[in-house]
Amino acid sequence: MSSFAPSSAMVGRDAEIGLVRRLFDGAAEGVPVGVLIDGEAGIGKSRLLREFAIEVSTRADVHVGWCLDLGAARTAYGPLTAILRSIVGHLGAERVREAVGVGAEALGMLLPELVDEPADRARTSPDRLRDAIATLIETAAEAAPQVLVIEDLHWADESTLALLSFLLRTLARGRVLLLLSCRSDDVRRGDAVSRFIVEATRSRLIERVTLPRLDGDAVRALAEQLTGRSVSDGALARMQERAEGVPFFVEEIADCTTGPLPDGLRDVLLTRFDRLGDDAQRVAQVASGAERPLSHPLLSMLAGLPEDRLDEAIREAARGGILVIDADLYRFRHALLREAVHDDLLPGERSRLHRAYAEALEAERDGTDGVDTASLAHHWHLAQDEPRALVASIDAMRDAKGRFAFAAAARFGELALEIWPSVPEAATVAGLSHVDLLQTLGSVLRNAGDGERALAVISAALDEIDPATVAPRLHARLLRDKAQYLANLGRPGAIPLTEQALDLAARVGDDALHATVLNQLASRYMVAGRLHDALRVADEAEQIASRAGDRDQMSIAANVHGVSLAHLGDITGGIVEFDRARDLARSSNADLRYRVNYSDALTLLGRYGEAVLIAEEGLALARSLGVGRSSGSIMMQNMSVALFERGEIERVDEMMSRDHRQGALRVFRMYSSMTRVRALAWRGRSTEAADMLREWRPAFVETGQTERQIWYDLITMTVAVAESAGDLRGALAEIVTMLDDDGPVLLHQRRLLLQAAAIIAELRAGGDDTATVSERVADAWTAQPAQLLADSWSPIVESLLAPSDTALQRAIDLAEGEDVPVVFRVITRLERARVLLRAGDRTAAAMLLADAATIARALGHVRLTTTVTTFAHAAGLSLDAVNGDGSGRGHGEAAASASDPDALTARERQVLELLAEGLSNRQIGERLFISVKTVSVHVSAVLRKLGVSTRTEAAIAAGARVPAQVNSRAGVIR
C-alpha cells in the first residue's frame, strides 16, 4: 500500500502566489488590502494559502479561521472568533482591553475570556462590536503586519459576511492583508456569499485571484513529484482525461497509477478509504460527521474502540492520506474526502452518527456553562430528531441574536419554523408559542436588514391570532412591529397600524409600552408632515413617559417637538425643545438620535457651520461609544449635506466613499442616494446622476407618499440632474409642480425656492419670459413664517427675482456668509455682472466674472464654471486678461502676500488649526474625512503660502489669527 506524501513544491501557481506577495508588500507599507482566492473544489486554494502563510510567518502575524459546513444554518461569526482569539493571544488581554476601551464588553460576547463576567447585551450594541473588532485589528497592525486568513468562505454565515464587508470598507489604515478562500462551484447565484463577492469586487474592495486548472506540463510535474517516477504519455493522457487539471484529483489519481483507474471521481476519492482496515474506516466514518477538527477524547468516545486499536486506526488513516493531525486535533486532509466518506454512509448510519455527535454536545453542555448551539441544532436536525432539533434551533437563534448575529439568528429561526409542524405539541416542547416565534423572528429579520421577510413574518403572526381573544399587549406589539417594518421599507400603512396599536396599548396599563407607541406614532406623523398631530401626540407621550420615569422616551418626545416646531417656523421654540431632548437623554441611542435630528434641522435652516460642528461632536460621541464607523455613519450622512452646501465637495466624496451601512434600512440608503446624485450633478457627471435617479425614483415615489422629506428629496435630485444636463426649464417646472402640491410645507421647500430664484435669473438672461413664475416664487417665499424670513436668504431671493445693482451687491456680500449655499457666491456675481454689462460697465463686469469663474473652478462645479465662461465669451470678455497672473482675482482685490494667513483657503485654515494642535497627517485626515494624500497637499500649500518650512513654524506664524475651534453642542434626526 502506497502512503500519501504531499508534493515537495507547489506546481503551476507562480503567478498567483507572486501577486499575493506583491499585495502583502503593499499591505506591509500600511495600505490594507483584501484578496479572494477562488476556484473549484480541489484546485489548490488552501495549499496556496498555506505556502504563503509559511513564507511570511517571520514577517507578519498570521491568524487563520475556518467557516464550517453546517448546511443552511451556519455558526455566527464562525471564522472570526478564531482569528480574534489568535490576535488576543499575540497582544495579551490587557493590551486589548486598553485598546478597545468600552468595546471590550462587546468583544466579550465572542471572547468571554476578555471580561470578568458574562457580557451584558443591554449595555452594548452591534455597532460597538463591529467597531471593537476593527479597532482590535488596527491595534495589532501597529505591532506587526497582520495576515488574516478565512478559509471556505462558501460556508460563511451572513453575519461574518456583513462584518467582512464592514472591515473592508473601514480599515483605511494599518498593515492588514485579509485573505479569503472560496470554492466557486459551491456559491449559488444570488445567495449571500455570491452577493458579497459581487459587491466587494464591484466596489474594488478585494483583489480577486481565480486559480485555473493545471496544464499538461504542470500535471506531469505534479504527478512525477508525487510518485517519484516518470509518467508515460499514456498515463498522463488518462490522468488529464479524468482529473481535468484539478490538482487534488491529480494527487488522488497519481496514487492509483499502478492499477486500473476508478470509473468516477467519487470512486477515485473513496479508493483511499477502501484500502483502509475496518478500524481505520470506522475512524474515518466517525470523523466525517464532524464539521470541524476533532479532539482525541471526542473521537475516542464516538469511535468506541480500545485505545491501542484507536491509535493504530488513526495512524493508518493518516498514512493513507485520509486524516491529518493538526496540533492536538484530527481533520480530513481535504473537505472533498470528508464529503465522499460521509455521503457513502447509509441513511441510518448517518442519522445514528449525528445523534451521537448531538448527544456528545449535550453532555458537554451539562458539564460547562455553554455549548455551540449552532452545531447542536445541525446535528439534531441531521439525526432527524425533530423535537430536539426544534429546541436546539430556537436556542441557536437566541444565542446568535444575543451576539448581534442577526442573519445567522434568522436562519435558525426559519429552521425552527420549518420543523414546527412536524413536532407534536410544539409550543410545549419549544417553551413558546408559534406567534411568539414569529414575532421574535420578525425582529431578527428586521435587524438583519431583510425588511421584506420581516414584514411577511409579522403579517403571518397577525393573521394567526384572533383579535377577540388574544392578549391586548401582544396584539399591540405585533401591530407596532408591522407598522415599523412598513416604515422601514418606505411603504404606506404605518400610521393606521400604529393608531390601532395605540388604542390597545392605552388599555394595557403598561406606561412604558404606551409611551413607546405614542412616540412611534408622533414620529410617523412628523415625517408625514402632520406636524400639529405630531406635537399633540408627543405631548401625551412625554406625560406618560414622565409617569413611568422613562427619560429616554421623554427625550424622544422633546426631539419630535423640536423638529415639528422648526418645520412650522418656530425656530426659537424648536431649539429650546432640542436642548431639552439633549438634557433628558440617558441612553446613547436617545442621545445620538437627538444629535442626528438637530444637525439635520440646522442644515435645513442654512446654519451649515453649526450643523457641521454639531455633527462632528456627534461623531466624536459615536467614536467614544465605540460606534463611530457604524451609527456614526448616519451622522456622517447628515454632515455631508451641510458640507455639500458649503462647497466642500471633496470632503463629501470622501465621506460618501466611507458609507458603511450596506445593510442599512432602505430609507437611510435613500437619504445617502440623494446626496450622491447631487454630488454627481455637481461634478458634471449628469449621465451617471440621471441613471442613479432613474434607479431610485420608484422607491422615492413610493416612500414619498408617507415621508414628506423623501418627497422633497426626489424634487431636489430631479432639479439637480436637470440643471446638470442644461435643462433649466425642466428644473424650474419641477419646482413649480412642488408649489402646485397642496401637501404639508416643510423647511425643505426653502432651499428649492432659493434655487428657483437662481434658475429664473438664468432663464431671464436667456430671453425667457419669467414674470409669472417669478411672482409665484416670490409669493411662496413671503408666505413663510416671520422667523424664516429674517435671514440672509431673503435679500438674495429678492435680488435674483428683481435684480438691481445695489440689491445684487448686498446679495454678493451676504453670500460670503457660511449660512448661504456656497454656489450663490458664483450666482450673485454672475447676475450682477449681467446688470453691469447692460449698464455699459464692462470692466467691473469682467472683474466680477473673473471672481465668479475662479470660485466656480475652485468648487469643482462644472455647470457653473461652464455658465460663467460661456457668458463671458459671449459678451466678448476675456477672463484671463483680468489679472496678469491668471488668478482671476478682480473687483479691486490685490493678491494676498505670501505670508498672510488670510491667503489660505477655508480648507487650508482647517488644516492649519489641526497642525497647531499637533495632529499628524493621518489624524488630520480622519478628523476632516479626507485622504492622507490630500492632507499632504494642503500642508504643503500652507507652508508655501506662509513662507515657512516646518509645521511648527506654520502654527507660530499663524498665531492668534487662526480662528479658535468653537465648542458647540450637537444633534439631529429622523
User: What does the alpha-carbon distance between residue 105 and residue 118 come to, in Å, rounded to a whole number?
Assistant: 9
pLDDT, residue 5, reads: 40
Does residue 262 contact residue 320 with C-beta atoms inside 8 Å?
Answer: no
Q: Is the sign of the CA dihedral 880, 886, 888, 890 positive or negative?
A: negative
Using the predicted structure, report yes or no on whether residue 368 has a pLDDT greater than 80: no
Residue 764, helix vs strand vs coil: helix
- Average pLDDT for residues 120-139, to the nearest whole number? 79
CB-based burial, 428-467: b 16+ in 10 Å, e otherwise:
ebbeebbbebbbbbbbbbbbbbbbebbbebbbebbeebee
pLDDT digit string (tens) for 660-714?
A: 444 456 667 788 888 899 999 999 999 999 999 999 999 999 999 999 999 999 9
User: What does the alpha-carbon distance between residue 333 and residue 3 come to, in Å, rounded to a whole number?
Assistant: 13
Using the predicted structure, report yes or no on whether residue 236 has a pLDDT greater than 80: no
Does residue 630 contact residue 165 with C-beta atoms inside 8 Å?
Answer: no
Q: What is the largest CA-CA distance in the chain?
A: 109
pLDDT band per the 50, 70, 90 thresholds, residue 922:
low
Give the residue, 56 or 938, on which the prediction is more confident: 56
- Average pLDDT for residues 103-128, to the nearest whole number? 76
Burial class (CB in 10 A: 0-12, 13-18, 19+), 650: middle
Sorted by sequence, the CB contacts under 8 Å of residue 935 that are 6+ apart come out as 911, 921, 922, 924, 925, 928
pLDDT, residue 2, reads: 34
pLDDT, residue 184, reads: 81
Q: Which three cell numbers stand for residue 128?
A: 460597538
pLDDT above 90 coverage of the chain, percent:
45
DSSP for residue 853: H
Alpha helices in 663-792 (DSSP H): 666-682, 686-704, 708-724, 728-740, 748-765, 771-782, 786-789
Q: Which three cell numbers stand for residue 888?
A: 482671476
pLDDT band per the 50, 70, 90 thresholds, residue 967:
very low
pLDDT, residue 366, reads: 54
3-state helix, strand, coil in the chain (%, to 5): 70, 5, 30
pLDDT, residue 886, reads: 36
Residue 819, helix vs strand vs coil: coil
User: What does the alpha-carbon distance between residue 107 and residue 136 come to, in Å, rounded to a whole number?
Assistant: 9
Q: Sheet containing 61-66: give its strands across.
A: 61-66, 146-151, 176-183, 33-39, 206-210
pLDDT band per the 50, 70, 90 thresholds, residue 633:
low
Using the predicted structure, report yes or no on whether residue 964 has a pLDDT greater than 60: no
Rg (CA), the chain: 33
pLDDT, residue 118, reads: 66
- Average pLDDT for residues 333-355, to the nearest whole number? 87
Look at the block and give the residue holding cell 444629535.
595
- Average pLDDT for residues 725-731, to the nearest whole number? 96
pLDDT above 70 coverage of the chain, percent:
86
User: What does the alpha-carbon distance between residue 861 and residue 678 come to, in Å, rounded to a whole number?
Assistant: 11
Strand-pair category, 294-295 with 329-332: antiparallel
Give the residue, 170 or 566, on which the prediction is more confident: 566
Find which of 19-23, 44-48, 294-298, 754-758 is predicted with most confidence, using mean pLDDT.
Answer: 754-758
Which amino acid does the sequence have at 49? Answer: L
pLDDT digit string (tens) for 375-394?
A: 888 899 999 999 999 999 99
- Average pLDDT for residues 925-934, to the nearest whole number? 64
CA distances from 654 to 172, 182, 657, 897 (A): 12, 31, 5, 31
Give the residue, 753 or 673, on which the prediction is more confident: 753
Q: Which three cell numbers stand for residue 899?
A: 505670508
The DSSP result for 524-541, as a single string, is HHHHHT-HHHHHHHHHHH
Strand-pair category, 294-295 with 323-326: unpaired
Cα of first residue to Cα of last residue in the chain, in angstroms, is 72
Q: Which three cell numbers stand for residue 376?
A: 447542536
pLDDT, residue 966, reads: 31
CB-based burial, 569-584: b 16+ in 10 Å, e otherwise:
bbbebbbebbbbbbeb
pLDDT digit string (tens) for 810-867?
A: 999 999 988 999 999 999 999 999 999 999 999 999 999 999 999 999 999 999 999 9
- Average pLDDT for residues 887-903, to the nearest whole number? 41
C-alpha atoms less than 13 angstroms from C-alpha of 884 in its C-beta half-sphere: 1
* Phi, psi angles (nearest 5°) of residue 709: -60, -40
Using the predicted structure, report yes or no on whether residue 894 has a pLDDT greater than 60: no
Using the predicted structure, report yes or no on whether residue 288 has a pLDDT greater than 80: yes
Q: Which of 834, 862, 859 is nearest to 848 (CA)?
A: 834
Look at the block and give the residue holding cell 441611542.
589
pLDDT band per the 50, 70, 90 thresholds, residue 882:
very low
- Average pLDDT for residues 301-320, to the nearest whole number? 90
Find which of 75-89, 506-520, 668-682 is predicted with most confidence, using mean pLDDT.
Answer: 506-520
Does residue 268 contact residue 262 with C-beta atoms inside 8 Å?
Answer: yes
* Size (the chain), residues: 974
CA distances from 746 to 529, 538, 751, 784, 942 (A): 7, 19, 10, 10, 42
Q: Which three cell numbers stand for residue 527?
A: 415625517
> What DSSP element (H or E) covers 183?
strand 176-183
Sorted by sequence, the CB contacts under 8 Å of residue 6 that are 6+ apart come out as 251
User: What does the alpha-carbon distance between residue 210 and residue 216 come to, in Å, rounded to a whole number?
Assistant: 19
Does residue 890 contact residue 850 with C-beta atoms inside 8 Å?
Answer: yes
pLDDT band per the 50, 70, 90 thresholds, residue 177:
very high
Does residue 454 contact residue 489 with C-beta atoms inside 8 Å?
Answer: no
Q: Across all residues in the chain, what is the average pLDDT?
A: 84
Using the predicted structure, report yes or no on whether residue 907 has a pLDDT greater than 90: no
Label each residue of 589-634 as H, E or C: HHHHHHHHHHHHHHHHCCCHHHHHHHHHHHHHHHHHCCCCCCHHHH
Does residue 626 contact residue 620 with C-beta atoms inside 8 Å?
Answer: no
Among 30-34, 432-436, 508-512, 866-870, the minimum mean pLDDT is found in 30-34
Using the predicted structure, report yes or no on whether residue 972 has a pLDDT greater than 60: no
pLDDT, residue 797, reads: 97
Find which of 44-48, 156-160, 382-386 is predicted with most confidence, using mean pLDDT.
Answer: 382-386
**How crowded is residue 956: how many other Cβ atoms within 10 Å of its Cβ?**
12
pLDDT, residue 10, reads: 80
* Phi, psi angles (nearest 5°) of residue 176: -130, 130
pLDDT band per the 50, 70, 90 thresholds, residue 271:
confident
Using the predicted structure, report yes or no on whether residue 293 has a pLDDT greater than 90: no
Q: Which of 159, 157, 100 is nearest to 134 (CA)?
A: 100
pLDDT, residue 13, reads: 84
pLDDT digit string (tens) for 456-474?
A: 999 999 999 999 999 999 9
The DSSP result for 353-391, as a single string, is HHHHHHHHHHHHHHHSS---HHHHHHHHHHTT-HHHHHH
Using the predicted structure, report yes or no on whether residue 270 has a pLDDT greater than 90: no
pLDDT band per the 50, 70, 90 thresholds, residue 105:
confident
Give the residue, 961 or 737, on which the prediction is more confident: 737
Q: What is the pTM of this model?
A: 0.70
Does residue 392 contact residue 377 with C-beta atoms inside 8 Å?
Answer: yes
pLDDT digit string (tens) for 761-811?
A: 999 999 999 999 999 999 999 999 999 998 999 999 999 999 999 999 999
